[in-house]
Structure 1
Amino acid sequence: MGRRCAFVRLGGCNLSCSWCDTPYTWDWTGKGDTGIAYDPKKELQKIPYTQVRDRLVAYGVPLIVVSGGEPLNQQTRLYPLVRDLRDSGHDVEIETNGTIAPDARLAELARFNVSPKLAHSGDPLRKRIVGRALEALAAVPGTAFKFVCRTEADLAEVGAVVERYGIGSVWVMPEGRTQDALDRSLAQIRDPVLARGWNLTTRLHITLWGDRRGV
């Protein structure tokens, strides 16, 4: 948080979290709590990876973050972009929901920020917690796990996932698309998170820009 970077946001997701802060990347039927059915023809663009690479390099920042949607749905297409960015001296981080095991070639080039989803996402357990994928991601050096929590009660669920799958680097982030929502969640989870010896973070972009897109 706070490091200068550029984001690549991919479309499509294999989950449908009710509180997702980027529903415009996947919610074509209005499943999320906004109730908005987004139009994929307006939201998604097919762009050659070389054009994406050149636009990212032009930003002149040291870190590129690939997010979604779910990036590992497209990891075969993603590989040449990540390869070229690493060749040009960039660090690359990929944000994933932890349900898809990474390709070995991609795992050699990027750091993974894994965000397993809890029950409050609304997705069934069998879809949101995939043991073989979590174990594969946990085995990649440098991987960090970030859990989005609303209340102290969510932390027991986090602890169960951490213990079962041997997760080391644990971060907890409050859920919320507004500053008020973040403040409420953060006030509930901050002390018990620190008492467990986990890392605590917030969402700087919400503090700075709210729920705006394209900043």
Structure 2
Amino acid sequence: MTAPRPVPVARSTSDGAFSLIVAECFGIVTPTFQGEGPSCGHPALFIRLSRCNLTCTRCDTKYTWDWSQYDPATESSRRSVTDLVAWAASSPVELVVITGGEPLIQQRKLVPLVQGLLAAGKRIEFETNGTIAPEPALLVDGVRFNVSPKLASFGVEEAKSIVPAALEVFAASGQAAFKFVASTVADLDRTAELASAYGLAPVWVMPEGTTAEAITATARILAEAVAARHWHFTTRLHVLAFGEARGR
């Protein structure tokens, strides 16, 4: 597998200092909702940023980083912070999910985006793999982090995907929930080790799968063990409702 590498992308704005590399934005023309974690089922808008610092084999958004399969010039463009705030403000939906890829790669340019969205009356959730600590300017009221540390079973070396210093910052912030993708009860045992080692709470478990059938089957394998640990359990509601369609 080819690792992510910096590539040029076509600029669609003239204010490069305040623009972000974006894969897609959705939730206005075709409404949708947050499909995972603490806000599962809430109406939501999505800003999906391009690029990632991991190369997980089970990733379902490889079009944000795997240039052996996708063309970055086709799959991403630069959009200004002003444009993104205006896009979100045009909708009455309150929740804006900033996801990826790994959004915190671009976090310095995310500060003005977050400020603009909050000023427009939005609340914000970041979906992050937990390898990059957030800057203090992002740890403000109205912002939450859904931190999803990737286990070895997700197809990545934990030496790269588990960054203790970053996890400790998220845990201390009081603004994070920790969402682990699991396939087996052994994954839950590993989740418990990490939660104990770094003070990760609350813990959410999400069954791995990209189809309704796979998610349901995995949920049935994990449910009893998750309940016994008194953790939260989340499905992937968007997959159950819309299948593998992009932009939902």
Task: Show the counterpart of 2:62.
Answer: 23
Deviations 1:134-192 (A, max 9, x none): 00011112310000001111101100100000112000000111111101111100110
List 4+ stretches of structure 1 deviating above 4 A.
none
Task: Give me the TM-score of the superposition, normalised by structure 2.
Answer: 0.82
Of residues 68, 73, 82 in structure 1, which corresponds to 2:100? 68
Separation in 1, partners of 2:216, 2:190: 21
Unpaired stretches in structure 2, ≥5 consecutive residues? 1-39
Moved more, 188-197 or 100-109: 100-109
The number of equivalent residue pairs is: 208
Q: Does 1:190 align with 2:229?
A: no
Task: Show the counterpart of 2:109.
Answer: 77
Following superposition, the deviation at residue 17 of structure 1 comes to 1.0
Task: Show the counterpart of 1:57.
Answer: 89
Task: Show the counterpart of 2:41.
Answer: 2
Contact 2:139 2:175 in 1 (8 A): no
Separation in 2, partners of 1:133, 1:142: 13
Unpaired stretches in structure 1, ≥5 consecutive residues? 30-36
Deviations 1:104-142 (A, max 9, x none): 001125211100000112211210000000000111123
Task: Show the counterpart of 2:17.
Answer: none
Separation in 2, partners of 1:172, 1:150: 10
Task: Show the counterpart of 2:125.
Answer: 93
Task: Show the counterpart of 1:133.
Answer: 166
What CA RMSD, in Å, does the superposition of the two structures yield over aligned residues? Answer: 0.9
Instruction: Give the partner amino acid of 2:41.
Output: G
What secondary structure sits across from 1:136 in the alignment?
Answer: helix
Task: Give me the TM-score of the superposition, normalised by structure 1.
Answer: 0.95
What secondary structure sits across from 2:181 in the alignment?
Answer: strand
Separation in 2, partners of 1:196, 1:8: 33
